[in-house]
Amino acid sequence: MTASTRPVGGTILTPAAKALLVLAVLGGAVGLYRLTQGLGATTAMNDGYPWGIWIAFDVAVGTGLASGGYALAFVVFILNRGRYHRLVRPALVTSLLGYAMAGVAVMFDLGRYWSVWRIPTHPGSWNGNSVLLEVALCMMAYTAVVFLELGPAWLEGLSASRRPERAQLAARWLPRAEKALPFLVALGLLLPTMHQSSLGSLMMMAGHKLHPLWHTALLPLHFLFTAFVMGFAVLYFESTFTGAAFKRPLETRLLARLGKYVAGVIIAFVVVRFVGLAVEGKAGLLVGSGLFSFLFWTETVLLLAAAALFLRPQTHLRPDQQLQAALLSMAGAALYRVDTFLVAYNPGNGWSYFPNVPEILFTLGLIATETFLYVLVVRKFPILAGVTPAPGRAVPAGLKQGATT
């Protein structure tokens, strides 16, 4: 892939990493409690709100934020903008970890988690109408695909191993991994197109229980838009923070050129959403729906503010403003998804839900685990570009050349 990527190296158990591990252990304790005491004793979920933040945040927002690999692959491999290539590996690592953590959240959320193995192994029982089945199979497959897309990175990491058999393995498989790439990239583009849009279809079935400002036949398209928005935004977040944390040069100029894509997707989303509401005759709800009108406008204003920032020439020179724009767009798109799954969902009958402390701790634990693993991976494997090589850990040049030609 990119010849200039290197492992960051350095100590794994920094004080920050230890703090992350403490959070991870707390989340793990909640997980253990859920496995022994059940969902009712652990969470605030109930028969009215059977999906809480483990689905609305960990899955719907989590995999949205894990769409960086998807959004970037579209720009790099389909629109053929090779200059963004250096962002691909870190984006794929975030995608892999994001989807893996969503998978962990689902396992703890499923009431009968021990029977989940039946889903991929019993195609005879598949219900072809089930949107959730498509989402589940697609997400499982995509997690595997992202792992394989990172094959060259794993193998380059192995080739630097002191053990000769590992280095040999890497030398043998690296060219094959490179050859398989177009096929894997195509799968890596198709699968998220399918399951990110279907995440939206999932809530279409809630029918009258979902507020009409969010319930529309365009839900799949809206979820595709927000996947791109969150995916792009994460690239800024990632690039800026790894720049600061690992003393590597900021990619401000590169990210500035990406801004037009994020702004474009945001504007397309907002326009399609308003046109959709107008066509469905729901324009009146934009002002008369109290909290829901407020939430709708909050989502829209956050996103439009982000788009405006992304398009402003001054932002192109300022990493802090780029980060602000990215955070605004992330917040807008994430709010849209949480609203769709939770806030705008109302089963009636006086049911209510607010996440309790264990649910929040579990979610924080997952985020901490994801962050810890991200740092671990970029320290051990050649993911980030522009890293100053740690003494004695540079990858032999011959192998690298063999990998890219």
44 touches another protein by CB under 8 A: no
Question: Which residues, numbered 257-316, are part of the site for another protein (CB under 8 A)?
Answer: 257
Q: Work out the number of other CB atoms within 10 angstroms of the CB of residue 241.
A: 13
Q: Does 244 bind another protein (CB under 8 A)?
A: no
* Site membership for another protein, residue 250 (CB under 8 A): no
Quick one: which of 36, 162, 288, 357 contacts another protein (CB under 8 A)?
Answer: 36
Query: What's the min distance (Å) between Cβ of 47 and another protein?
Result: 5
- When asked if residue 57 is in the footprint of another protein (CB under 8 A), the reply is no
Spatial distance between the Cα atoms of 63 and 329, rounded to a whole number of angstroms: 15
- Residue 247: Cβ within 10 Å count: 11
Phi, psi of 80 (to 5 degrees): 60, 45
Q: To the nearest whole angstrom, how small is the minimum distance from the Cβ of residue 401 to another protein?
A: 11
Burial code of 248-277, b = ≥16 C-beta within 10 A, e = fewer? Answer: beebbeebbebbebbbebbeebbeebeebb
Q: Which stretch binds another protein (CB under 8 A): 97-105, 118-126, 157-165, 235-243?
A: 118-126
- Three-state DSSP class for 385? strand
Looking at this protein, which amino acid is placed at residue 226? T
List all residues 6 or more positions away from 20 whose beta carbon is below 8 Å from its beta carbon. 368, 369, 371, 372
Output 119 or 364, the one with its CB closest to another protein: 119
Identity of the residue numbered 288: G
Judged by beta carbon, residue 37 or residue 161, the one nearer another protein is 37
194 touches another protein by CB under 8 A: yes
* Residue placing its CB nearer to another protein in the complex, 272 or 305: 272
The type of residue at 356 is N
401 touches another protein by CB under 8 A = no
Q: Verify binding: residue 82, another protein, rule CB under 8 A.
A: yes
132 lines the binding site for another protein (CB under 8 A): yes
Closer of 107 and 301 to another protein (Cβ)? 107
Q: Residue 244 belongs to what H/E stretch? A: helix 219-245
Binding footprint of another protein, residue count (CB under 8 A): 74
Minimum CB separation from another protein for residue 372, in Å?
28
Ramachandran assignment for 85, one of left (phi > 0), alpha (psi -120 to 50 degrees), beta (any other): alpha
Stretch that binds another protein, among 154-162, 230-238, 297-305, 341-349 (CB under 8 A): 341-349
Is 206 an interacting residue with respect to another protein (CB under 8 A)? yes
Judged by CB under 8 A, which stretch of 58-66, 108-116, 238-246, 279-287 contacts another protein?
108-116
- Minimum gap (Å) between residue 169 Cβ and another protein: 24
Find tokens 């998978």 and name the residue. 103
CA gap 134, 143 in Å, rounded = 14
Is 226 in contact with 248 (CB distance < 8 Å)? no
Q: Does the footprint of another protein cover residue 131 (CB under 8 A)?
A: yes
